[in-house]
């Protein structure tokens, strides 16, 4: 994320004043005046500031219209086809409406979605008042993209009937003991169980509709504006004032609770990201993609949270430091698990770079975990990743390690300057990355410190979640031939730079009564490797490929709609590292080990199994068939339970100087000991250690 001022911000401000002057003073609707201003600033910003604005034509207008409909009703549970037909009369005029600040279509869609939500709530409550039978052979399609808008009210009623039947079916399965040695025995659905399941669904459905009612006009307007921004690229996004604050919290890493970033997906509060250093991160079982089904307090009070708003789930999860909360989650493989987490503030120390030492075949091998490329991440510490990495490298050198592993798995990026400075620790000097805006020459960004801090064997670990600054560092090490990269078939593939445009600043001192107006995160540049390629879409392909669970799933920047295209420019001038004669033999040895390792074979099988089951989006609503499917999934998933945990271990220890620092500060070392204990059985890390050993 780049926080430098936009190059043409002054011209945009001037344009904004011109636009403001066009707003009639006689207009009485202040809300619509404000929305008109936001639309006009957005139009100017998108077409003058964006890296690669799309061609402004009818096709783009139609795509924007489709995205607006999707943003308002992604699950196709509210609008009728007649609504879409009515709205679509403006589908070729979307760009002109943005340029003119015409809010008429938004007003119509906004009023209609409020009406349809109210009607849907009444319909759903009516249907849940009647007993539901599960003997009919029928299916419910869970993939929104494969559904269509109902042609009329009768068809919408039937769609809701199937949806609610599916929801109650899931609740029944969660509540009834289906475990038995006789796989042919189907537990009976009692009248009481069916009534209780409908009651719970009615309660949670109320929470869902309450959440929809809690969305104010600004929220819906933000969705409408983002139909425009999302058609420029997936990282350009308008933030209404309240969401702007959320974004700033996210960028500074200041999260509360268990340290998990949540998102609501089709009624399920889902784990979107685990915050490094948090209670969830330290506990280790909660993962991205887990769906939260229930929250249980330490006193045993349990609350079903399916369909509940994120805000209410957060309130249930939060609590005093030291108390426990249990999350019942559904994993990606369909299995259900209870995960108990001790509440705590996010332990920022664990979010910083830290090191450990592996003891392997009589050698000491260094390991550094970097969760994020942070800089001034927390004002009270004023730390940055490059300084901390140098500290850890020096620490490991004093311990006499024979090589170093830099672990960037699940490191989503951060500061560009940090990536450059850290790369500079491992090369004498030279270019690290190139950045380029449309119509401008590429700028080569180089290591500013001529000192070579470490010249020994180096391995970099990545995964599908390694993105942006992580990809810049890994690509630079690969292009120089300085390190071997080990990970799955590709990293995330984000090779673009965004900047924040504050709309309040754009309008200057004019129209103070309109503020706050929000902000626009806008893509302004693309990263390029020093070899002339870019991580955009392709990511970084490791030198040594190891399977993981996402290998066969559609994942990464390349799967996002309207992603900026891959391109190449002239390579920078740089001198490759010459002390890498052992690379070819180390790669060949690793390939042989990976092919023969039962754990990696199991990982490969798991990845294919996940991809195969992901395609099966049509769910049977017949009790016997649903039970049989869930039993099969549960049984199949058992063999993958400990897929990432090795049966043997490579011992890790905390560096001597770290122990001394912790002792001096009086810090509890139990978390550190748990951390190095987990490292010792990490099957992917074990292979990285063997690769590093072969590089001697």
Q: How far apart are CA 364 and CA 402, in angstroms?
A: 6
Tokens of 419: 């990536």
Which of 91, 200, 494, 521 is catalytic? The answer is 494
Sheet holding 354-360, edge to edge: 544-545, 484-487, 458-461, 404-407, 363-369, 354-360, 652-653
Active site residue 479: yes
DSSP string, 443-479: EEEEE--------S-EEEE--TT--THHHHHHHHHHH
Q: What residues contact residue 143 under an 8 Å CB cut-off, 6+ apart?
A: 617
Q: How far is CA 687 from CA 219, 482, 521, 602, in A?
A: 47, 19, 39, 15
Q: What residues contact residue 537 under an 8 Å CB cut-off, 6+ apart?
A: 493, 495, 556, 557, 558, 563, 564, 565, 566
Q: How far apart are CA 153 and CA 113, in angstroms?
A: 15
Q: What residues contact residue 391 under an 8 Å CB cut-off, 6+ apart?
A: 353
407 within 8 A of 685, measured Cβ to Cβ: yes
* Residue of 400, 437, 485, 402 whose CA lies nearest to 657: 400
Phi-psi sector, 538: left (phi>0), alpha (psi -120 to 50), beta: alpha
Q: How far is CA 561 from CA 63, 67, 232, in A?
A: 11, 11, 9
Question: How far from chain centre, in Å, is Cα 234?
Answer: 12
Phi-psi sector, 525: left (phi>0), alpha (psi -120 to 50), beta: beta
573 within 8 A of 682, measured Cβ to Cβ: no
Q: How far apart are CA 684 and CA 604, in angstroms?
A: 13
Tokens of 654: 């905390």
Tokens of 203: 């309660």
For strand 443-447 and strand 354-360, is the pairing parallel, antiparallel, or unpaired?
A: unpaired
Q: How far apart are CA 534 and CA 475, in angstroms?
A: 9
Which of 44, 229, 355, 468 is catalytic? The answer is 468
Which of 102, 388, 447, 479 is catalytic? The answer is 479
56 within 8 A of 96, measured Cβ to Cβ: no
Q: How far apart are CA 392 and CA 7, in angstroms?
A: 37
Q: Which residue has the tokens 């669904």?
A: 201
Number of C-beta neighbours around residue 536 at 10 A: 21
3-class DSSP state of 121: helix
Q: How far apart are CA 438 and CA 442, in angstroms?
A: 9
On the question of a cis peptide bond just before residue 341, with omega within 30 degrees of 0, the verdict is: no
Q: How far apart are CA 536 and CA 433, in angstroms?
A: 13
3-class DSSP state of 90: helix
Number of C-beta neighbours around residue 330 at 10 A: 19
Tokens of 289: 């993609």
Active site residue 468: yes
Active site residues: 468, 479, 494
């Amino acid at each position: 994320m780049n926080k430098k001022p936009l190059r043409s911000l002054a011209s945009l401000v001037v344009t904004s004043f011109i636009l403001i002057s066009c707003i009639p003073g006689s207009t009485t609707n202040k809300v619509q005046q404000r929305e008109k201003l936001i639309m006009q600033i957005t139009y100017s910003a998108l077409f003058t500031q964006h890296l690669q604005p799309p061609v402004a034509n009818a096709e783009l207008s139609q795509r924007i219209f489709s995205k607006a409909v999707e943003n308002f009703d992604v699950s196709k549970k509210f609008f009728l086809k007649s609504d879409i037909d009515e709205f679509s009369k403006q589908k070729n005029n979307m760009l002109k409406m943005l340029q003119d600040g015409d809010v008429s279509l938004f007003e119509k869609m906004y009023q209609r979605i409020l009406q349809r939500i109210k009607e849907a709530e009444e319909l759903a409550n009516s249907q849940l008042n009647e007993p539901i039978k599960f003997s009919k052979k029928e299916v419910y399609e869970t993939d929104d993209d494969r559904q269509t808008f109902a042609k009329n009210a009768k068809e919408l009623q039937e769609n809701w009937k199937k949806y609610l039947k599916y929801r109650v079916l899931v609740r029944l399965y969660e509540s009834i003991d289906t475990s038995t040695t006789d796989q042919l025995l189907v537990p009976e659905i009692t009248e009481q169980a069916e009534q209780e399941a409908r009651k719970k669904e009615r309660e949670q459905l109320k929470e869902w509709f309450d959440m929809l009612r809690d969305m104010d006009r600004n929220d819906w307007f933000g969705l409408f504006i983002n139909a425009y921004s999302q058609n420029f690229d997936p990282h350009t996004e308008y933030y209404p004032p309240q969401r702007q604050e959320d974004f700033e919290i996210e960028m500074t890493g200041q999260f509360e609770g268990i340290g998990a970033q949540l998102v609501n997906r089709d009624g399920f509060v889902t784990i979107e990201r685990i915050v490094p250093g948090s209670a969830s991160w330290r506990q280790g079982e909660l993962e991205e993609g887990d769906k939260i089904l229930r929250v249980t307090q330490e006193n045993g009070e349990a609350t079903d949270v399916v369909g509940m708003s994120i805000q209410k789930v957060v309130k249930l999860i939060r609590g005093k430091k030291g108390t426990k909360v249990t999350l019942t989650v559904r994993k990606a493989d369909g299995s259900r698990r209870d995960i108990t987490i001790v509440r705590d503030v996010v332990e920022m120390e664990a979010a910083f770079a830290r090191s450990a030492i592996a003891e392997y075949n009589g050698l000491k091998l260094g390991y550094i975990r970097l969760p994020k490329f942070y800089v001034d991440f927390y004002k009270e510490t004023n730390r940055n990743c490059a300084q901390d990495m140098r500290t850890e490298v020096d620490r490991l050198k004093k311990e006499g390690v024979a090589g170093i592993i830099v672990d960037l798995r699940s490191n989503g990026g951060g500061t560009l300057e940090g990536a450059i400075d850290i790369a500079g620790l491992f090369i004498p000097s030279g270019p690290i990355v190139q950045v380029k805006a449309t119509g401008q020459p590429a700028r080569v960004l180089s290591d500013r410190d001529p000192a070579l801090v470490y010249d020994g064997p180096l391995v970099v670990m990545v995964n599908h979640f390694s993105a942006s600054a992580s990809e810049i560092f890994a690509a630079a090490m690969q292009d120089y031939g300085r390190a071997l990269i080990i990970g799955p078939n590709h990293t995330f593939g984000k090779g673009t730079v965004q900047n924040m445009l504050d709309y309040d600043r754009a309008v200057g001192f004019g129209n103070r009564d309109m503020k706050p107006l929000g902000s626009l995160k806008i893509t302004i540049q693309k990263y390029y490797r020093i070899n002339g390629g870019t991580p955009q879409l392709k990511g970084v392909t490791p030198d040594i490929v190891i399977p993981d669970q996402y290998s066969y799933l559609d994942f990464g920047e390349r799967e996002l709609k309207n992603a900026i295209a891959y391109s190449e420019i002239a390579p920078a001038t740089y001198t490759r590292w010459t002390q890498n004669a052992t690379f070819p033999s180390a790669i060949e040895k690793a390939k042989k080990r990976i092919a023969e390792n039962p754990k990696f074979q199991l990982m490969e099988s798991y990845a294919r199994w996940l991809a195969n089951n992901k395609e099966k989006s049509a769910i049977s609503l017949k009790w016997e068939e649903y039970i049989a499917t869930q039993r099969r999934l549960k049984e199949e998933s058992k063999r993958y339970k400990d897929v990432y945990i090795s049966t043997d271990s490579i011992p890790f220890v905390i560096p001597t100087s770290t122990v001394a620092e912790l002792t001096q500060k009086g810090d509890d070392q139990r978390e550190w000991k748990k951390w190095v204990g987990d490292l010792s059985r990490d099957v992917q890390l074990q292979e990285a250690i063997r690769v590093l050993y072969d590089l001697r």
